[in-house]
Homo-oligomer: A and B are copies of this chain.
Amino acid sequence: MSLPDAPITIRPLHAADEDAWRALWTGYLDYYETAVTEEVYRVTFKRLLSGDDTEFHGLVALVDDKPVGLVHYLFHRHCWKVENVCYLQDLYTDPALRGRGVGRALIEAVYAEADKAGAPAVYWLTQEFNYAGRMLYDRVGVKTPFIRYNRPS
Protein backbone atom coordinates (compact mmCIF):
# COMPACT_ATOMS: atom_id res chain seq x y z
CA MET A 1 0.00 0.00 0.00
CA SER A 2 1.13 3.51 -0.77
CA LEU A 3 1.21 6.02 2.05
CA PRO A 4 -1.76 8.42 2.09
CA ASP A 5 0.55 11.32 1.44
CA ALA A 6 2.67 9.72 -1.27
CA PRO A 7 3.13 12.35 -3.98
CA ILE A 8 1.27 12.17 -7.30
CA THR A 9 3.30 12.54 -10.47
CA ILE A 10 1.74 13.13 -13.89
CA ARG A 11 3.60 12.23 -17.08
CA PRO A 12 2.77 11.31 -20.69
CA LEU A 13 1.77 7.74 -21.37
CA HIS A 14 4.72 5.50 -22.37
CA ALA A 15 4.84 2.29 -24.37
CA ALA A 16 5.90 0.46 -21.20
CA ASP A 17 2.62 1.44 -19.52
CA GLU A 18 0.52 -0.80 -21.73
CA ASP A 19 -0.48 -3.36 -19.10
CA ALA A 20 -1.22 -0.75 -16.45
CA TRP A 21 -3.06 1.40 -19.00
CA ARG A 22 -5.21 -1.56 -20.07
CA ALA A 23 -6.15 -2.28 -16.47
CA LEU A 24 -7.04 1.35 -15.70
CA TRP A 25 -8.95 1.90 -18.93
CA THR A 26 -10.89 -1.34 -18.39
CA GLY A 27 -11.91 0.05 -15.00
CA TYR A 28 -13.09 3.20 -16.73
CA LEU A 29 -15.05 1.30 -19.39
CA ASP A 30 -16.57 -0.88 -16.65
CA TYR A 31 -17.86 2.27 -14.97
CA TYR A 32 -19.76 3.05 -18.18
CA GLU A 33 -20.90 -0.59 -18.34
CA THR A 34 -19.25 -0.93 -21.71
CA ALA A 35 -16.43 -2.97 -23.21
CA VAL A 36 -14.29 -2.64 -26.30
CA THR A 37 -12.69 -5.24 -28.54
CA GLU A 38 -9.03 -6.25 -28.41
CA GLU A 39 -8.63 -4.32 -31.68
CA VAL A 40 -9.81 -1.12 -30.01
CA TYR A 41 -7.37 -1.61 -27.12
CA ARG A 42 -4.52 -2.02 -29.62
CA VAL A 43 -5.50 0.76 -32.00
CA THR A 44 -6.26 3.27 -29.26
CA PHE A 45 -3.03 2.58 -27.38
CA LYS A 46 -1.03 2.95 -30.60
CA ARG A 47 -2.79 6.22 -31.44
CA LEU A 48 -2.25 7.61 -27.94
CA LEU A 49 1.51 7.05 -28.37
CA SER A 50 1.67 8.32 -31.96
CA GLY A 51 2.48 11.92 -31.14
CA ASP A 52 0.13 12.87 -34.00
CA ASP A 53 -1.70 16.14 -33.27
CA THR A 54 -4.99 14.82 -34.60
CA GLU A 55 -4.96 11.88 -32.18
CA PHE A 56 -5.91 11.66 -28.52
CA HIS A 57 -3.02 12.13 -26.14
CA GLY A 58 -2.66 10.28 -22.85
CA LEU A 59 -1.34 11.16 -19.42
CA VAL A 60 -0.93 8.85 -16.47
CA ALA A 61 -0.83 9.64 -12.78
CA LEU A 62 1.82 7.78 -10.78
CA VAL A 63 1.92 7.08 -7.07
CA ASP A 64 4.99 5.19 -5.90
CA ASP A 65 5.97 4.92 -9.58
CA LYS A 66 2.82 2.95 -10.33
CA PRO A 67 0.13 4.22 -12.76
CA VAL A 68 -3.04 4.82 -10.73
CA GLY A 69 -4.95 7.12 -13.06
CA LEU A 70 -5.25 8.15 -16.68
CA VAL A 71 -6.71 10.83 -18.88
CA HIS A 72 -7.11 11.07 -22.66
CA TYR A 73 -7.48 14.42 -24.43
CA LEU A 74 -7.85 15.62 -28.00
CA PHE A 75 -7.23 18.97 -29.66
CA HIS A 76 -9.78 19.72 -32.36
CA ARG A 77 -11.08 22.59 -34.45
CA HIS A 78 -13.80 24.91 -33.22
CA CYS A 79 -15.57 27.12 -35.77
CA TRP A 80 -15.80 29.99 -33.31
CA LYS A 81 -12.03 30.21 -32.81
CA VAL A 82 -8.80 30.24 -34.78
CA GLU A 83 -7.12 28.01 -32.18
CA ASN A 84 -7.97 24.41 -31.45
CA VAL A 85 -9.89 23.53 -28.31
CA CYS A 86 -9.18 20.62 -26.00
CA TYR A 87 -11.67 17.81 -25.35
CA LEU A 88 -10.85 15.87 -22.20
CA GLN A 89 -12.17 12.32 -22.21
CA ASP A 90 -11.71 9.10 -20.28
CA LEU A 91 -10.63 10.38 -16.88
CA TYR A 92 -10.11 7.55 -14.42
CA THR A 93 -8.53 6.90 -11.03
CA ASP A 94 -7.92 3.51 -9.46
CA PRO A 95 -10.72 3.23 -6.84
CA ALA A 96 -8.14 2.29 -4.18
CA LEU A 97 -6.47 5.70 -4.62
CA ARG A 98 -9.58 7.89 -4.69
CA GLY A 99 -9.79 10.96 -2.54
CA ARG A 100 -6.13 11.92 -2.80
CA GLY A 101 -6.38 14.37 -5.64
CA VAL A 102 -5.39 12.11 -8.53
CA GLY A 103 -8.35 13.21 -10.68
CA ARG A 104 -7.73 16.86 -9.96
CA ALA A 105 -4.03 16.49 -10.78
CA LEU A 106 -4.87 14.85 -14.11
CA ILE A 107 -7.34 17.59 -15.07
CA GLU A 108 -4.87 20.29 -14.10
CA ALA A 109 -2.18 18.58 -16.15
CA VAL A 110 -4.51 18.70 -19.17
CA TYR A 111 -5.05 22.41 -18.48
CA ALA A 112 -1.27 22.84 -18.58
CA GLU A 113 -1.01 20.92 -21.85
CA ALA A 114 -3.79 23.08 -23.31
CA ASP A 115 -1.87 26.18 -22.28
CA LYS A 116 1.29 24.87 -23.92
CA ALA A 117 -0.67 24.12 -27.11
CA GLY A 118 -2.37 27.53 -27.07
CA ALA A 119 -5.82 25.95 -26.76
CA PRO A 120 -8.10 28.58 -25.20
CA ALA A 121 -10.73 26.12 -23.96
CA VAL A 122 -10.86 22.71 -22.27
CA TYR A 123 -14.15 20.86 -21.86
CA TRP A 124 -15.51 17.47 -21.00
CA LEU A 125 -18.82 15.63 -20.79
CA THR A 126 -20.09 13.67 -17.83
CA GLN A 127 -23.30 11.95 -16.89
CA GLU A 128 -25.67 14.14 -14.91
CA PHE A 129 -25.71 11.45 -12.19
CA ASN A 130 -21.94 11.01 -11.90
CA TYR A 131 -22.10 12.49 -8.42
CA ALA A 132 -18.58 11.59 -7.32
CA GLY A 133 -17.12 13.01 -10.50
CA ARG A 134 -19.20 16.17 -10.32
CA MET A 135 -18.05 16.87 -6.76
CA LEU A 136 -14.60 17.28 -8.29
CA TYR A 137 -15.72 18.94 -11.54
CA ASP A 138 -17.60 21.67 -9.66
CA ARG A 139 -14.31 22.57 -7.98
CA VAL A 140 -12.02 22.51 -11.02
CA GLY A 141 -14.51 23.38 -13.74
CA VAL A 142 -17.78 25.11 -14.50
CA LYS A 143 -21.01 23.33 -15.34
CA THR A 144 -22.61 24.61 -18.55
CA PRO A 145 -26.26 24.27 -19.63
CA PHE A 146 -25.19 22.13 -22.61
CA ILE A 147 -26.53 18.61 -22.87
CA ARG A 148 -25.69 15.95 -25.42
CA TYR A 149 -27.95 14.43 -28.04
CA ASN A 150 -27.01 11.36 -30.09
CA ARG A 151 -28.16 10.07 -33.44
CA PRO A 152 -30.45 7.14 -32.59
CA SER A 153 -28.73 3.81 -32.96
Interface residues of A (CB under 8 A from B): 29, 34, 36, 39-40, 43-44, 47-48, 54-56, 72, 74, 76-82, 87, 89-90, 111, 114, 121-129, 131-132, 134-135, 137-138, 140-153
Complex: A140 Cα to B149 Cα, angstroms: 9
Complex: A138 Cα to B128 Cα, angstroms: 13
What are 28 A-B residue pairs whose CB atoms fall within 8 Å in the complex? A34-B80, A40-B79, A40-B80, A40-B82, A44-B79, A54-B54, A54-B76, A54-B77, A56-B77, A72-B79, A78-B89, A79-B89, A123-B149, A123-B150, A124-B148, A124-B149, A125-B148, A126-B149, A127-B146, A128-B145, A129-B134, A131-B134, A131-B135, A137-B149, A140-B151, A144-B147, A146-B147, A146-B148
- The prevalent SS among residues of A at the interface is mixed
Q: How many copies does the complex hold?
A: 4
Contact across chains for A144 and B138 when beta carbons are under 8 A apart: no
